[in-house]
Amino acid sequence: MNMASHTPFPIGSQVAFHRTELSLILGLYGRMVAAGEWRDYGISCLKDYAVFSVFRRTAENPLYRIEKHPKLRLKQGQYSVIGLNGQVLKRGHDLKAVLRVLERKLIRAVSD
């Protein structure tokens, strides 16, 4: 099932991650927690976009933000991974492909 083909939510509602999207994100999150890299997360569902924020410690700024912007689905892609300093690490139409930028960080963390 291609997640980029989902239609956006009706006007006036909030954007949220679909169950299949959350499954991919939480799978990666669990592996990163097991590797000792991540310790907490937060989810924000806003009018125009949804954000899954990842933290090393609860009281600090997020290490990464996984964002879903449905309005960008026909342009550069609705999914993006944003780093600590606000730089876009990866953007695209396929969430699984976008999350690979963080998978590489997991491989490096486990091999160290």
Question: If DSSP codes are grouped into helix, strand and coil, which group holds residue 68?
Answer: strand
3 occurs within a structural domain: no
Query: Does residue 11 carry a pLDDT above 70?
Result: no
4 occurs within a structural domain: no
Looking at residue 106, its pLDDT comes to 64
Number of domains in the chain: 1
Identify the domain containing residue 85 by its residue range: 11-107
6 occurs within a structural domain: no
5 occurs within a structural domain: no
Looking at residue 73, its pLDDT comes to 86
| Interacting residues of 33 by C-beta distance below 8 A, sequence separation 6+ | 39
Digit-coded pLDDT (tens) for 27-83: 999 999 998 889 999 999 999 999 999 998 766 789 999 999 999 888 888 999 999
pTM for the predicted model, two decimal places: 0.80
